[in-house]
Amino acid sequence: MTSGRRNPGSRLMTAILLVAASLIASPPLLADEGADLFKKQCIACHTYEKDGGRRQGPNLWGLFDRDLGGLAEFPYSKGLKVEQRSWTPELLDQWLEEPKSLSPDTYMMYRQADPEIRRRIIVFLETATRE
């Protein structure tokens, strides 16, 4: 005979499933938040669309598939032109925190001390700058 009350174990399972679902949904949410942050903090100097041209900074389309100073039509600082490394999310995080740590003669003045803001911008760029 059942009393019509829910099993306490099923409430716990429901809560666990809801938390798991929200964690699975996090990357798109981070990308959306990153898009907003990019538009507020980066869009004045950078485009990110394929064939989007450049502004004061280089176009970021294909960023994670090229060398640090690898966009042929952009006048990078000497330090970036000679770099033999390719952009990775980890390297971009370092760059956004302190650009001069990678290239002391860089022209980029933007710095972001908050690791969560950097992470959200990077998640956005990882999806928005690839085909």
For residue 125, the tally of other CB atoms under 10 A from its CB is 25
Q: Return d(Cα 21, Cα 94) in angstroms, integer.
A: 31
**Residue position matching structure tokens 């900074």:** 57
Residues 6 or more apart whose Cβ sits within 8 Å of residue 74: 54, 58, 59
Amino acid 76: pLDDT: 93
Q: What is the pLDDT of residues 30-53, one digit of tens each?
A: 667 899 999 999 999 999 999 888
Q: What is the DSSP letter of 20?
A: H
Q: What is the pLDDT of residues 73-111, one digit of tens each?
A: 899 999 999 988 999 999 999 999 999 999 999 999 999
Cα angle at 107 between 90 and 125, to 5 degrees?
A: 35
What is the value of pTM for the model shown?
0.75
DSSP bridge partners of 67: 86
